[in-house]
Amino acid sequence: MPGSSSDPLRAVLAAAGYEGFRQRLRESGCTRCALAEGRTRIVVDRGNPDAKIVAIGEAPGAREDARGVAFCGRAGRMLDDLFAAEGLSTDEHLLIVNVVKCRPPGNRAPHREEAARCRPFLERQLALSPARTIALMGATALRHFAPERAKGPLGAQVGRFFGLPDWPDREFVTLYHPAAILYNRSLERVAREHVRALAARVGAPFPARTG
């Protein structure tokens, strides 16, 4: 475990910058919840820590668990496609994270207690990111940040931008989870509209970088 503290949580959170945080969490051997027992790797993220958008999913799946990279399977390819259509690269223009960093058995949704134990890491990711726009992908991410909004049908929330008192300088938007779109392709058209609105909100498409 890098860092001088014997408390893994404190050592991870004490990292000054995002790269240090990422490395410390990956190597932490975290056992703060029971998901540690079944995981292969701690999956911290994918993408660019300096991006203008943070997208939050639910939990790593089998491929993510094997590779240690968030959204690197089929759902990730759908996510890549939705953003590429708006001129955005998920590796360059997004930081992609999950509510929990370890794969739940059988890909079930994370339990509330597991999400709560992992929350300090997610909060630190947001605090270290310059992004002001946070996309909550699916019901688990929405429930984690805005439980009141998650009480009704997800369809009534997707595409809506909102603020939260705990995060005064951030704007949130709910999106369909890419895996839900793969499961129900009739969601795809409206999901693309939501991503288009999100891209416009952050000023995309961005001018190509030179040099």
Enumerate binding residues for ligand URA (CB under 6 A).
57-61, 64, 70-71, 75, 98, 179
Cβ of residue 6: shortest distance to ligand URA, in angstroms?
30
Q: Which is nearer to ligand URA, 3 or 76 (CB)?
A: 76
Query: Which residue has the CB atom at the shortest distance from ligand URA?
Result: 57
d(CA 95, CA 42) in angstroms, rounded, equals 16
Q: Which is nearer to ligand URA, 70 or 191 (CB)?
A: 70
Q: Which is nearer to ligand URA, 13 or 75 (CB)?
A: 75
- What strands, in cross-sheet order, belong to the sheet with 133-137? 46-47, 94-98, 53-57, 133-137, 167-175, 161-164
Q: Which is nearer to ligand URA, 47 or 61 (CB)?
A: 61
Q: Which amino acid is at 125?
A: Q
Per-residue DSSP letter, 50: T
Return the closest-CA partner of residue 197 out of 178, 177, 173, 166.
173
Cβ of residue 58: shortest distance to ligand URA, in angstroms?
4
Cβ of residue 179: shortest distance to ligand URA, in angstroms?
6
Are 81 and 160 in contact by the 8 Å Cβ rule? The answer is: no
